[in-house]
């Protein structure tokens, strides 16, 4: 998959480094309590809001990583603790930066 230097859509679940179930298993192992369906919904929001700024440094949608993470919490209606669990579930499997 070739990414634009300036903008890229988030990857589909099929394009992630590991199967989605591995990310969910990691999420549960670090204290996540959501079921897999809810986790996948929140993971999709997380990738939508953070992929460009975290992976490409693209500020088209958010001016900073913090702003993107706050947007995840607001859109998904979850606490920042939960946002960081989702981040860690991805970052622990494959560096998300």
Q: Does a structural domain hold residue 8? A: no
Q: Which residue has the higher pLDDT, 18 or 43?
A: 43
Higher pLDDT, 61 or 18: 61
Residue 85 covered by a domain: yes
Domain membership flag for residue 29: yes
At 14, the pLDDT band (50, 70, 90 cuts) reads low
Domain assignment of residue 97, yes or no: no
Calculate the CA dihedral of residues 51, 56, 61, 62 and round it to 10 degrees: 90
What is the C-alpha to C-alpha distance for residues 52 and 36, in angstroms, rounded to an integer?
24
What is the distance of C-alpha 26 from the center of its chain? Answer: 13
Q: What is the pLDDT of residue 95?
A: 83
**Tally of domains in the chain:** 1
Give the pLDDT of residue 86.
97
Q: Give me the mean pLDDT over the 56-85 stretch.
A: 95
**CA 23 from chain center: how many Å?**
10
């Amino acid at each position: 998959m070739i990414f634009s230097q300036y903008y890229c859509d988030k990857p589909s679940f099929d394009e992630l480094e590991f199967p989605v179930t591995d990310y969910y298993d990691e999420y549960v192992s670090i204290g996540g309590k959501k079921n897999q369906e809810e986790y996948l919904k929140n993971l999709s929001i997380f990738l939508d809001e953070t992929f460009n700024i975290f992976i490409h440094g693209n500020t088209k949608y958010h001016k900073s990583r913090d702003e993107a993470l706050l947007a995840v919490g607001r859109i998904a209606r979850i606490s920042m603790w939960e946002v960081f669990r989702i981040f860690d579930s991805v970052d622990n499997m494959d560096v998300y930066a």
